[in-house]
Amino acid sequence: MKRRLILLYGVACYAVFFATFLYAIGFVGGFGVPKSMDSPRDTSLPVALAINLGLLALFALQHSVMARPAFKRAWTRVIPESAERSTYTLLSSVALIVLFWLWRPLGGIVWHVENEVGRVLLYAAFAFGWALVLVSTFLINHFDLFGLRQVWLQFRGRPYRPLPFKTPGPYRIVRHPLYVGWFFAFWATPTMTVTHLVFALMTTAYILIAIRLEERDLLDALPEYAQYRRDVPMLVPRTSRASRGVATRHAGTPAQ
């Protein structure tokens, strides 16, 4: 019964995550959701800015603190180890849901592209970013990243074994294609409002900090990662032959 409950819990956590991911596309893109990032401003600018920065800080703290190995070791004394990743996925989704719920638009326009070709290209870059995020997770095992593999193995009574370190597809070009996808998703827009700019700037700053924390953990856990980091650029592809020839060896799991 316990195994079955943990499996159901993991599936429920994943369902919440995937619904939140789909909502996030509409929230950032401004379509298909009741309240988007760029909805009309309904409170004073200082209050709205303070609320939004607080929401982003809350997400960043939850996302990074719970991903650290020391926290995981302490956390798994409270919850089953097989449910740790699912719980992390669930709480990350809850932090995002709170952000969607309490977000306060700021108003104002930074840029607006009227040229039809330019708009199409920016929307294409936006779609490319979200697709790259999703594809990157599947290349390194989407179901392990979001906890389903762990709960399935415990349900089958099999021990969990970490995935081998490898560099599939875009991981041969940059170390963090998933984050590159986020940059496209957050910055590619034909209408950049002040609200959107604050969101893009703050999430970019967080990602750059998170990469440092993640890579520190990867260097401690994976001896291969040091060479991988020397061979492959972090976010911006190189055109050198050395960069193109790297890679069938390793790729780290994207940051949590």
Residues 84-104: tens digit of each pLDDT: 999 999 999 999 999 999 999
Give pLDDT, residue 121.
97
How confident is residue 220, by pLDDT bands cut at 50, 70 and 90? Answer: confident
pLDDT of amino acid 69: 83
Q: Which of 178, 184, 180, 167 is nearest to 237 (CA)?
A: 180
Residue 242 is predicted with a pLDDT of 47
User: What's the rounded Cα separation, in Å, for the pair 253 and 221?
Assistant: 11
Q: What is the mean pLDDT of the chain?
A: 89
N-term to C-term CA, the chain: 30
Helix (H) or strand (E) holding 111: strand 109-112
pLDDT tens sequence across 162-206: 888 888 889 999 999 999 999 999 999 999 999 999 999 999 999
The pTM for the full model equals 0.87
How confident is the model over 115-136, as a mean pLDDT? 96
Q: Which residue has the higher pLDDT, 40 or 55?
A: 55
Tell me the C-alpha distance between 209 and 57, whole Å.
13
Structure confidence at residue 35 (pLDDT): 86
